[in-house]
Amino acid sequence: MNRNRILAVYALLLLFLAGSPLFSANLTAEYSEEMDTTIASSSSFGVQAPNYSLAFHVGTLTIQKIPGGGLFSGTNFQDLLLTHAGSRNNPLTLASNRPIGGKTTFNAQLVAKVQHNSSTQVVVLDPTKNSQILINSDLKSYPITIDYYVRIAGIPAVELVAGAHFQFANPPGGTLGNFTLQATYYVWFFPGTENIKIGGSSSAAPFFMTDYSSGSPNFINIDSISPPVTASLSITQQTEEKTITLSQAFNNNKVKVGEAKILVQGFDYMHNYGVNVVFSDYIVPSSNSFMFRHTEAGGSTAIPFTLLLGTNPSQIQIIQPKVPFTWDNLSCTATNMRNLYVTGISPNTAQSSLSGTYTTTIKVEITPLDSNVQVE
């Protein structure tokens, strides 16, 4: 009889406790998304791993114990678990807007850097697993700080991603999915789990509110600084190109007088740049024509001519004095070279002009179209 009474009281006690507000929350968490997704070395974040030399910060989570919490606020929690849910890419892949080392897509990992009890550990969050243990020990000291990072494989140096922009390669949306947190504990000998509210909400929190998936208007590494690139123009002439006879350029005939080449330096990958180029008469910068001038008579005897630039016949263009034109598709790996031709000399003008030697000097200026290009 006494035994049955004890069991009944015990059952009533469990029912009372299970339905009691004394089981109110004991832990709370705050999460903030990192808005600066500049890629840096993974070692600078403390999340380095073999072949994962680069990383960027996703966000920071802080867990606190609530003062004067529920009945079991003094109870130690044993484990911290993360449940990964929602839309998530598997495998996690990042796509670059330009080739890096000959590739445009790179494998990546979402990792949690957990700081607790004066120790730090890095946990790889496997998108194929719904639940993973972040801390497998008593949760003794607070706050507990967890930083989430994406680390990138296959790019050995941060200099290679300077100025490059990335997105998650597998659309749509839900770039990293959502997460919830649980902490386990024991009341007497009975196990329990507390669902930790994040920002006061029981709903799953997104790792990223910002959509960085392919096709979105948002990019990772957008705040990185493009390293300087230098562009220098040189014009070279072979011996036979330095002296021509005027008849070689009569009317539509053209004669090669040199080669213009732009040398681009600064990157070891394929990337195209552009510059504006302006040719003008060096002697009379305001002149709207290019002129050959008699070496002795000077400006009193001059013969107009037309300057052409290009290599393939279909790409040869007339150069207008003082009028800028765009020279694009410049890269470090291309020759970036075009021929210079003289044409358009009037036979009547040449034959009626003073005999002798005529020369010209042309000024060339280039202005970069890209903000990180410098002219030398």
Task: Report the top-level CATH class of 229-375.
Answer: mainly beta
Convert the pLDDT of each residue in 119-171 to its tens digit: 999 999 988 888 999 998 888 888 999 999 999 999 999 988 988 899 998 75
Domain boundaries, the chain: 25-206, 229-375
Using the predicted structure, report yes or no on whether residue 258 has a pLDDT greater than 60: yes
Sign of CA dihedral 7, 8, 10, 11: positive
pLDDT-derived band at 80, boundaries 50, 70, 90: very high
Task: Report which of 81, 207, 57, 65 is spatially closest to residue 147, judged by C-alpha positions.
Answer: 57
CB neighbours of residue 347 within 10 Å: 11
Q: Which of 23-32, 205-214, 216-225, 291-300 has the highest mean pLDDT?
A: 205-214
Beta bridge partners of 258: 340
The mean predicted confidence, pLDDT, of the chain is 85
pLDDT-derived band at 16, boundaries 50, 70, 90: very low
Using the predicted structure, report yes or no on whether residue 196 has a pLDDT greater than 90: yes
pTM of the model: 0.62
C-alpha 234/C-alpha 338 separation (Å) is: 11
Q: Which of 29-38, 80-89, 222-231, 360-369 has the highest mean pLDDT?
A: 29-38
Q: Exposed e or buried b for every residue in 82-105, given b needs 16+ CB within 10 A?
A: bebeeebbeebbbbbeeebeeeee
Token pair 């796509």 is found at 95
Q: Tally the residues of the chain.
A: 376
DSSP assignment of 60-119 equals EEEEEEPTT-STTTTPPEEEEEEEEESS--SS-EEEEEEEETTEEEEEEEEEEEEEETTE
Task: Report which of 364, 64, 4 is spatially closest to residue 198, judged by C-alpha positions.
Answer: 64
